[in-house]
Chain A
Amino acid sequence: AQTVTQSQPEMSVQEAETVTLSCTYDTSESDYYLFWYKQPPSRQMILVIRQEAYKQQNATENRFSVNFQKAAKSFSLKISDSQLGDAAMYFCAYSTPGGSYIPTFGRGTSLIVHP
C-alpha cells in the first residue's frame, strides 16, 4: 500500500520569508501524481500545486513551488514571500492509475505565519 509521510506536524515562518514543507511517499509505481492541498481555518480544501511523476521539471504556481526528487521519493513544497493568508494546514497527496486515482493523503503540516 502506498503511504505518504509528512514528518513536520507544525512549521512556522515569518511574513515575507520562505518556508519548505516536507513530504515523502512510498510507491512501486512509475506513473503517479503528487499534490499539495491547503486547508485554511475555514476548512475548505483547495489544490495548491500538482506534479506529474513523468515530468522532470518541478511545478511552480506563483509563490508556490515544489522540489520533486523522484529517486528519493520526496516532494517538498516551498512557499516564497510568505503571507498571513498562507497560514493553514497543508496536505501532501499521491494518486496513481493503479489505485483508481484515489489519492492517499499525508497527515498534514500546520503552517503558522508570524507578522
Chain B
Amino acid sequence: NAGVTQTPKFQVLKTGQSMTLQCAQDMNHNSMYWYRQDPGMGLRLIYYSASEGTTDKGEVPNGYNVSRLNKREFSLRLESAAPSQTSVYFCASSRQGNSYEQYFGPGTRLTVT
C-alpha cells in the first residue's frame, strides 16, 4: 500500500518556467490537498479538492492552479514560477466530511532561481 505518492521529490526551476507537481493516493479518499511549508510558517493550504470534480482555493492560491484528474490524482501547476514559490510542497488526502486524519506524501522540495 503506497499511500500518498508525489513526484518529483526535488526540482529546480528558473524564474518564469512552468511545471506540474503530481500527487496520487491509493486509499480511496475523497478529499485531497496541496500545502506549502516554509521555515517558521507551518503548513499553508494552497488548494483543496473535497471530492472528485471539485476544487477550492485555500489560504495561498495565487500563482497556482490545480486539477483533480480523477479520484486518485490531484496535480498542482505553477504556470510561471517565481522565487517566492521556493518551498516544500506536500500533498495530502483524507476521507471526506469528518475528523479523520490527513495522510501526507513525502513532499517536493522546489527551488526557483
Using a CB–CB cutoff of 8 Å, the interface residues on chain A facing chain B are: 9, 33, 35, 42-47, 50, 52, 91, 95, 97, 100-103, 105-108
For B48, give its contact among A43, A46, A102, A106 (CB under 8 Å): A102
For B98, give its contact among A9, A101, A105, A106 (CB under 8 Å): A101
Using a CB–CB cutoff of 8 Å, the interface residues on chain B facing chain A are: 31, 33, 40-45, 48, 50, 58, 88, 90, 92, 94, 97-99, 101-102, 104, 106-107
**CB neighbours of A45 from chain B (8 A):** 90, 92, 102, 104
Q: Which chain B residue has the least Cβ–Cβ distance from A42?
A: B106
Q: Which chain A residue has the least Cβ–Cβ distance from B105?
A: A44
Q: When the two chains form their complex, are residues B43 and A52 in contact, meaning their CB atoms are under 8 A apart?
A: no
For A50, give its contact among B42, B50, B101 (CB under 8 Å): B101
Nearest chain A CB to B6 CB, angstrom units: 10
